[in-house]
Amino acid sequence: MNSTTRHSGRSYAEVYRESIEQPEKFWLGAAEAVEWEKPPTRALDASAAPTYRWFPGATLNTCFNALDRHVRDGHGDRAALIYDSAMAPDASRTYSYAQLLDEVSRFAGVLTERGVATGDRVIIYMPMIPEAAIAMLACARIGAVHSVVFGGFAAKELATRIDDAGPVVLVTASGGLEPGRIVEYLPMVEKALELSATPPHTVIVKAREQIPGSAADYRGSAATWFDWDTLIADASPAQPVPVAATDPLYILYTSGTTGKPKGVIRDNGGHAVALTWSMKNIYDIGPGDVWWTASDVGWVVGHSYIVYGPLLAGATSVLYEGKPVGTPDAGAFWRVISDHGVSALFTAPTAIRAVRKADPDAREVAKYDISSLKALFVAGERLDPDTYAWTTKILDRPVVDHWWQTETGWAICANLLGLQPMPIKPGSPTVPVPGYRVEVLGDNGNPLPAGTEGQIVIALPLPPGALTGLWRDPDRYTRAYLAAFDGYYLTGDSGYIDEDGYVFVLGRSDDVINVAGHRLSAGSIEAVVAGHPAVAESAVVGIRDELKGQRPSGYVVLKAGADVDPDTLRSELVAMVRDQIGAVAAFRDVTVVPALPKTRSGKILRKTVRQIVDRDVYTVPSTIEDTTVLEILEKQLRS
């Protein structure tokens, strides 16, 4: 479908103004794209402010909107889900909407037969296989609340989430496939059940032929273990159960500063409306388009834009089991785009940097036909201007940075390609998305002038689709997000808004470096460092300094094949920072490292790097991608 046919003809400014000044009109209009069992008569319930609810009194079923209505309307043969496994190519397959509906309906029947009722919780601990999405949609179909735990989390982390969510069933697989290794899940599940104070009564296992282990191996456990394929073969399909718009669809845990994960609650109605609106207006994706989010279903991006968003929009979603490099090479992304005619790709900046590091001259791109690709979207952490420039050059398509959080569930700021594409400013995710009133405040709570860095906040109420609270912890929700500034949600990020209304997100507020009383953004310095032609990626952290309190210290990973003397590199980077930021930055430390520690979603663990350098005691984060990177880094920096 030609993207120009989707534009409404209304300007961004007009649409945004209506969303802020007439939210009832705006969101009731957006809700018309969703099919309701009982349609909403009003959009916002502010009776319990500062906790808000969207579409009170309305009822719907999210799974019906994602699957049934498309089949009913004659689109059952359209591809719904393409499973592309670089790890097990023979397992790859495509599900039509009718086929996916059948699988989901029958697994919903399995859950019902195992005693799962509306409102019950189900933990899903799965690798990137179709059954993960099927289990999520099956929960939504019967009104159960799913909580997806990233596959491969250690037993202790899984047990913590089990005890907080209180599930009656846990759905898992025999394991996940990583380059050069397999990750067996079932021993970790068994250990988690032993550690849990409130284990589920049932475990359902999808056995994978590439990985040993099955439900039959765990018959002696406290829980009753069942085989997925055996149960689903005899299951009766379950029909969709209408639930209140304000009922929870899922709980997704995000790391908390106290060590206890925060269970973000997402509702059914606001979520369906927001994601349906976003697919059309932000991403310019609709029925018949092939959409690929290169993430994991264990993260919010996977929830919103692998499973729910594309299917609500009637598009085709690619579920990819593999890496941007190493499965088998740096051409993996371009191969998937070529094979499936991908219209738009959504990934993290760190994935693009990994591709660039392995293939700096982009030789792999030329091997594939990527003419179907209209745009590349990135989020997860700041897209530095140098990576933006490289990606734009090799793709010759819009490279759209946008900013959001686990808590919001969809973009806070974006360049809305389906509404009104705007000029891109490198380093900025562009402008606030309709529904989000974004402001920058000083520490005293007063608004700051354009161009002045401060705390980025969002005026309440948050729009539909954002979190409605934390599971079983309303006080923590208030303390963590609403207490800092009256009437605002605290994003925890710092940045500024320029004269044109473009938002610049510089990093987490605790990434601000205080050099002799001067507050400097680590993100600003990283943007300069990333501009060096030999640098693939970098982290800048504030380390202790006896004279200045803190000073910035840089840690850089070189591009593949880069041949540069470390002392020369340091001198050049120091000169660049001095020229672009000023002597006030006091930037003089540069260390070349083989890799930077990251979470599985691609975020660099800057706090952990700082703790290693300062020789502080640190805890290995549960979300870390590769613990050996920390071991190597500690040996190098503490020797």
- Write the pLDDT tens digit of every residue in 272-311: 999 999 999 999 999 999 999 999 999 899 999 999 999 9
DSSP letters, 207-272, are: --TTS---GGGGTTSSSEEEEHHHHHHTPPPPPP--EETTSEEEEEEE--TTSSPEEEEEESHHHH
Confirm if 404 and 412 have CB atoms less than 8 A apart. yes
Amino acid type, 229 = D
Query: Which residues are within 8 A (CB) of 588 and not within 5 positions of it... i.e. 6 or more apart?
Result: 551, 570, 574
**Cβ pair 285, 291 in contact under 8 A:** yes
Query: What pLDDT does residue 376 have?
Result: 98
Strand partners, 603: none
**Sorting pLDDT into bands at 50, 70 and 90, what band is 151?**
confident
- pLDDT of amino acid 600: 78
Per-residue model confidence (pLDDT) at position 7: 53
> What's the rounded Cα separation, in Å, for the pair 33 and 537?
41
pLDDT at residue 248 is higher than 60: yes
pLDDT of res. 547:
67
Name the pLDDT band for 450 (thresholds 50, 70, 90).
very high
Residue labelled with tokens 């079932």: 186
Using only C-alpha atoms, what is the Rg of the chain?
24
The answer to whether residues 423 and 439 touch, using CB atoms and an 8 Å cutoff, is no
Place of tokens 């309440």: 460
Q: Percent of the chain beyond pLDDT 70? A: 95
Q: Are strands 121-125 and 169-173 parallel, antiparallel or unpaired?
A: parallel
Instruction: Report the CATH number of the 3-322+402-492 domain.
Output: 3.40.50.12780
In 3-state terms, what secondary structure has residue 342?
A: coil
How high is the mean pLDDT of the chain? 92
- Short-list 99, 115, 106, 118, CA closest to 61: 118
**pLDDT tens for each residue of 320-372:** 999 999 999 999 999 999 999 999 999 988 899 889 999 999 999 999 999 99
Whether the predicted pLDDT of 5 surpasses 80 = no
Residue carrying structure tokens 């934390």: 470
Arithmetic mean of pLDDT, 71-82: 98
Mean pLDDT of 577-590: 82
Which of 88, 81, 487 minimizes the C-alpha distance to 319?
A: 81
**For residue 519, what pLDDT is reported?**
56
How is the chain split among helix, strand and coil, in percent rounded to 5? 35, 25, 40
Q: Where are the domains of the chain?
A: 3-322+402-492, 516-637
DSSP bridge partners of 553: 541, 589
DSSP 65-124: IIIIHHIIIIITTSEEEEEEESSSGGG-EEEEHHHHHHHHHHHHHHHHHTT--TT-EEEE
With cut-offs at 50, 70 and 90, classify the pLDDT of residue 153: confident
Was domain 516-637 assigned CATH 3.30.300.30?
Answer: yes
- List, for residues 518-529, the tens digit of each pLDDT value: 556 687 788 889
Q: Which pLDDT band holds residue 1 (cuts at 50, 70, 90)?
A: very low
Please name the residues in contact with 330: beta carbons below 8 A apart, sequence gap of 6 or more. 324, 354, 355, 358, 359, 364
pTM over 0.75: yes
According to DSSP, the residues that pair with 270 across neighbouring strands are none
| Sign of the torsion angle spanned by Cα atoms 154, 156, 160, 162 | positive
Give tens-digit pLDDT for 11-40: 999 999 999 999 999 999 999 999 999 999
Query: Rounded to the nearest 5°, which phi and psi values hold at 204?
Result: -115, 125
Could you tell me which of 340, 342, 281, 341 has the C-alpha nearest to residue 313? 281
Confirm whether 3-322+402-492 and 516-637 share one CATH topology. no
Is residue 80 within 8 A of residue 319, CB to CB? The reply is no
Residue burial 491-510, b: 16+ Cβ < 10 Å; e: rest: bbbbbbbeeeebbbbbbbbe
Helix (H, G, I), strand (E, B) or coil at 402: coil
Reported as a pLDDT band with limits 50, 70 and 90, residue 227 is very high
HEC string for 482-494: HCCCCCEEEEEEE
pLDDT digits (tens, 9 = 90+) for 186-225: 999 999 999 999 999 999 999 999 999 999 999 777 799 9
Question: In this predicted structure, what is the pLDDT of residue 257?
Answer: 44
pLDDT of residue 223: 93
Q: Which two tokens stand for residue 122?
A: 């189900």
pLDDT in tens, 532-580: 999 999 999 988 876 667 889 999 999 999 989 999 999 999 999 887 7
